[in-house]
Amino acid sequence: MGEMLVLIDHTDGAPRKISLQLLTAARKIAAETGDTIAAVWIGEGADDAAATLGEHGAELVYTWDSDEAFAYVTVPQVEALQAAIEESDADTLLFGSTNHTKDVAARLGIRVDGGVITDVTGVAVEDGRLVCTKEVFGGDTITTSKVAEGKMQIIGIASNAYPVESVGGDEADIEELDVELSEAAQVAKVVSVEKQVASDRPDIGEAAVVVAGGRGLGNEEGFRLMEQLADVLGAGVGASRAATDAGWYPHRYQIGQTGRTIAPTLYIGSGISGAIQHRAGMQTSQTIVAVNKDAEAPIFQIADFGIVGDLYTVVPKLIEELEDRKG
Ligand SMILES: Cc1cc2nc3c(=O)[nH]c(=O)nc-3n(C[C@H](O)[C@H](O)[C@H](O)COP(=O)(O)OP(=O)(O)OC[C@H]3O[C@@H](n4cnc5c(N)ncnc54)[C@H](O)[C@@H]3O)c2cc1C
């Protein structure tokens, strides 16, 4: 029994959806381990978020609000987490699995002699330790893994693996962390940050619904159809590598082994064959819908609902039907 830490990712002063999902995971774990939940908030805004974090189960927020937090690449955040671990004496840290946080977690694991498990879709507690489920090899294999006894458990949870649940807790207390950056933390300086996303659509890593298009779209224009479908559903738009390599959609929207890992509640893929490298990025989606004119396409092996047909016939009908139902 002790404290469990939850790294809160935030944007424009508000916790991201994944962070509130992490608090749900933390509460489920804490129900068995008896731990209390402490959030870790790096950067400004912890005071304003304390009520939301409390409402979702955090009792305490460790924060480090410094210009240095994001002035250097990755390591200041590692050192802030290290300070939170030392302060709390926690043996578990949960974080939302993204490319950036995996970088942070790997470095932290070395610093604190901990074990890192990423892209976890489910956690059970056995003898007070976490047993983590994840899908590997493009979803063909499910593994359960745990960190060695006595070592810090640093666990990256996949997006949408847990729901967001408010439990109506009191505003969390705030505790400032004392972080003295090492020289090593100040080696790689961030020179500029430019926001690339000029879209009102949700980020595909967090969206509950993702609409994805592949080579079967035939051209860049096909993505206007994907965007139309996405907008009826309030979804994010993703793409296969064949589509991003062709220049039809920006690379930052690529789903798969060398792109983003997503786990929405609903994934709709059109004109995507379902190569293993694509599946590696989307197979944990809760419901998979595939539209493909080839009934033998491998995507149908993992689809919950498959539509064999020309996407240019099927998708406009789908949009029409959805619009009708929305009234
Ligand atoms: C190291 C490595 C890493 C990779 N990383 C990734 C990655 O991160 N993400 C990724 O996606 N891929 C990745 N790939 C590439 C991957 O192997 C596939 O080549 C790619 O996913 C294929 O994209 P696609 O399904 O859009 O195209 P295709 O495989 O060409 O499939 C197109 C599909 O569209 C269907 N189709 C065609 N016209 C229509 C129509 N009018 N209506 C309906 N269906 C139609 C076809 O039947 C076909 O099934 C990687 C490959 C390697 C080697």
How far apart, in whole angstroms, are the C-alpha atoms of residue 6 and residue 39?
A: 5
Helix (H, G, I), strand (E, B) or coil at 271: coil
Question: Does residue 38 share a domain with residue 172?
Answer: yes
Would you tell me how many other CB atoms lie within 10 Å of the CB of residue 89? Answer: 8
pLDDT in tens, 14-60: 999 999 999 999 999 999 999 999 999 999 999 999 999 999 999 99
Give me the pLDDT at residue 200, please: 86
- Ligand 1, from 258, 299, 300, 314: best to mutate by most atoms within 8 Å of Cβ? 258
Paired tokens of 206 = 């967090």
Domain boundary, last residue among 186, 217, 245: 186
Paired tokens of 202 = 């949700």
Q: Where are the alpha helices (DSSP H) in the chain?
A: 17-33, 46-55, 75-88, 99-112, 222-233, 241-245, 276-279, 299-302, 311-326
Indicate the pTM of the whole model. Answer: 0.81
Q: At what angle do helices 99-112 and 75-88 cross, to 10 degrees?
A: 50
Nearest CA to ligand 1 atom 6: 277
Nearest-CA neighbor of 281 among 126, 101, 128, 158?
158
Q: Is residue 204 one of the residues assigned to a domain?
A: no
Question: Does residue 171 share a domain with residue 24?
Answer: yes
Question: Does residue 43 share a domain with residue 165?
Answer: yes
Across the beta sheet with 92-96, what order do the strands follow? 115-120, 153-157, 92-96, 3-8, 36-42, 60-64, 173-176
| CA of residue 284 to ligand 1 center, whole Å | 18
Confidence of residue 316 (pLDDT cuts 50, 70, 90): very high
Q: Is residue 290 one of the residues assigned to a domain?
A: yes
Contact 7, 101 (CB under 8 A): yes
Question: Does residue 162 share a domain with residue 214?
Answer: no
Q: Is residue 201 one of the residues assigned to a domain?
A: no
Q: Interior CA angle at 230 toward 8 and 301, to 5°? A: 90
CA distances from 166 to 9, 44, 160, 275, 319 (A): 17, 23, 15, 38, 33
Domain boundary, last residue among 128, 153, 186: 186
| CA of residue 17 to ligand 1 center, whole Å | 29
Domain boundary, last residue among 186, 218, 252: 186
Question: Does residue 42 share a domain with residue 163?
Answer: yes
- Ligand 1, from 251, 278, 283: best to mutate by most atoms within 8 Å of Cβ? 278
Contact 262, 248 (CB under 8 A): no
Question: Does residue 64 share a domain with residue 154?
Answer: yes
Nearest CA to ligand 1 atom 43: 292
Nearest CA to ligand 1 atom 27: 215
- Ligand 1, from 217, 219, 257, 288: best to mutate by most atoms within 8 Å of Cβ? 257
Residues lining ligand 1, CB < 6 A? 214-216, 240-243, 254-259, 271-273, 275, 277-278, 281, 291-294, 297, 310-312
CATH number for the domain including 74?
3.40.50.620
Q: Is the pLDDT of residue 292 over 90?
A: yes
SS3 track for 106-134: HHHHHHHCCEEEEEECEEEEECCEEEEEE
Contact 178, 205 (CB under 8 A): no
Contact 56, 165 (CB under 8 A): yes
Q: Is residue 194 one of the residues assigned to a domain?
A: no
Contact 311, 270 (CB under 8 A): yes
Residue 131 phi/psi, 5° resolution?
-110, 115
| CA of residue 314 to ligand 1 center, whole Å | 19
pLDDT in tens, 98-147: 889 999 999 999 999 999 999 999 999 999 999 999 987 666 788 999 99
Give me the pLDDT at residue 1, please: 74
Full domain range(s) for residue 261: 209-326
| CA of residue 194 to ligand 1 center, whole Å | 30
Paired tokens of 7 = 């790294």
Question: Does residue 170 share a domain with residue 222?
Answer: no
pLDDT in tens, 213-238: 999 999 999 999 999 999 999 999 99
How far apart, in whole angstroms, are the C-alpha atoms of residue 280 and residue 282?
A: 6
Question: What letter represents residue 271's amino acid?
Answer: G
| CA of residue 215 to ligand 1 center, whole Å | 6
Give me the pLDDT at residue 161, please: 87
Question: Does residue 316 share a domain with residue 177?
Answer: no
How many structural domains is the chain composed of?
2
CA distances from 262 to 28, 96, 161, 257 (A): 22, 12, 10, 11
Q: At what angle do helices 222-233 and 311-326 cross, to 10 degrees?
A: 30
